[in-house]
Amino acid sequence: MATTGDPIDGRQAEQALGAAHAAQAAARAAGSTRSRGHTLGQGLTCAVGFTTLGLSGISSQWSGRLLTVGVLSLAAFLVLVWLGAHHGGTTPWFDRRREADKRAWLLPLAPVAVGLVAAVPYGAPGWLIGFGLASGVEYLLRATRTGTA
Amino acid sequence: MTGEPGGPPPALDRELHHPTRLALAAYLSACGEAEFAVLRDYCQVSDSTLSKTLSALEKTGYVSIRKGYLGKRPRTWAALTLTGRRALAGHLTALEEIASAARRAGAEPEGDRSEPEED
């Protein structure tokens, strides 16, 4: 790191810190704003995708069609995730020091736990269905809580 | 530069000293990556100035630049590298130290700062 030899007084340091914190706040605000419809769309495609994949393993008669619907739904889900991440020209960044971001990390683990519980009696299809439904509910909660994700 | 009395002065990073560079690095530190137009609008600088600033920060290894397309439109994305994040953290810490040292100096009564008289 090249250090500056320029003297800097306390007032200048305060101003620079203020500007830096304002920039960080602006970036966080830009990266966290999502429309409610977008979050609901993500939840719907995620729930349908994983649930139909799980059901395709149970139903032999509809297996092919359910698999197609599942794969298409998950593809749509990934597209929505990518679009959401690049919405507004700023992708979000997880800062583990902030309480809100701890929620953002921990909440998505709930569907994994639900899936694992469902996997005990029903195996892999149970995990997929449990995970899909719980993810859908989790996205729904996110959408209803603040209108943003 | 004001630092801890007796200790080495806080190390400010020359590459992040300029207000535009600091704002840019601070903005990028709070997001994964940001689009060129977003950074230009936030920093309120011209395309040319931002391009030069980003190139300079990329040369030091603080910023990575990615060019791509959003649909058919070309886009440039910038992200702060790990080196840049560390450098910014160090720079902000140094600024904090300078600011808090100045606050302490301002809060101290005049009598506390004067040298004791010897008889």
Chain A partners within 8 Å of B103 (Cβ)? 10
B6 and B100 Cβ atoms separated by less than 8 Å? no
For residue B79, pLDDT beyond 60: yes
Residue B38, in any domain of the structure: yes
Residue B42, in any domain of the structure: yes
- Residues B76, B55: Cα–Cα separation, whole Å: 12
Q: pLDDT of A49-107, one tens digit each?
A: 999 999 888 877 888 889 999 999 999 999 988 887 777 788 877 665 555 556 666 77
For residue B65, pLDDT beyond 90: yes
Indicate the residue of A7, A30, A89 with minimum beta-carbon distance to B1.
Answer: A7
Residue B115, in any domain of the structure: no
Please name the residues between 87 and 146 in chain A that touch chain B, using a CB distance below 8 Å.
Answer: 88-93, 95
CA dihedral A17, A22, A28, A33 (to 10 degrees): 180
- Residues A55, A64: Cα–Cα separation, whole Å: 11
Q: Tokens 């931002």 appear where?
A: B50
* Best mean pLDDT range from A115-119, A135-139, B42-46: B42-46
CA B88 to chain centre: 5
Whether A24 contacts chain B with CB within 8 A = yes
| Band (B75; pLDDT cuts 50, 70, 90) | confident
Range of the domain at B66: 14-100
Residue B40, in any domain of the structure: yes
- Residues B76, B60: Cα–Cα separation, whole Å: 19
| Band (A149; pLDDT cuts 50, 70, 90) | very low
For residue B57, pLDDT beyond 50: yes
Quick one: tokens of A92? 């979000």
Residue B36, in any domain of the structure: yes
Residue B106, in any domain of the structure: no
* Best mean pLDDT range from A7-16, A39-48, A54-63, B56-65: B56-65
In this structure, which amino acid lies at residue A149?
Answer: A
**CB–CB contact A10 B106 (8 Å):** yes
| Band (B110; pLDDT cuts 50, 70, 90) | low
**CB–CB contact A27 B28 (8 Å):** yes
CATH number for the domain that contains residue B28: 1.10.10.10
Report which of B42, B99, B87, B106 is spatially closest to residue A15, judged by C-alpha positions.
Answer: B99
Question: B47, exposed or middle or buried, with CB in 10 Å at 0-12, 13-18, 19+?
Answer: exposed
Quick one: pLDDT at residue A97? 54
Rounded percentage of chain B residues whose pLDDT exceeds 70:
82
- Residues B89, A24: Cα–Cα separation, whole Å: 12
Quick one: pLDDT at residue A132? 92
Chain B partners within 8 Å of A24 (Cβ)? 26-27, 29-30
| Residue B76, strand partner residues | B67
Number of domain units in chain B: 1
Mean pLDDT for A2-10 is 63
Residue A128, min C-alpha distance to chain B (Å): 30
Residue B27, in any domain of the structure: yes
Residue B77, in any domain of the structure: yes
Mean pLDDT, chain A, rounded, equals 82
A115 and A131 Cβ atoms separated by less than 8 Å? yes
Chain B partners within 8 Å of A87 (Cβ)? none
Chain A interface, mutation test: which of B95, B96, B100, B103, most A Cβ atoms within 10 Å?
Answer: B95
Contacts of A67 (CB under 8 A, 6+ apart): A52, A53, A56
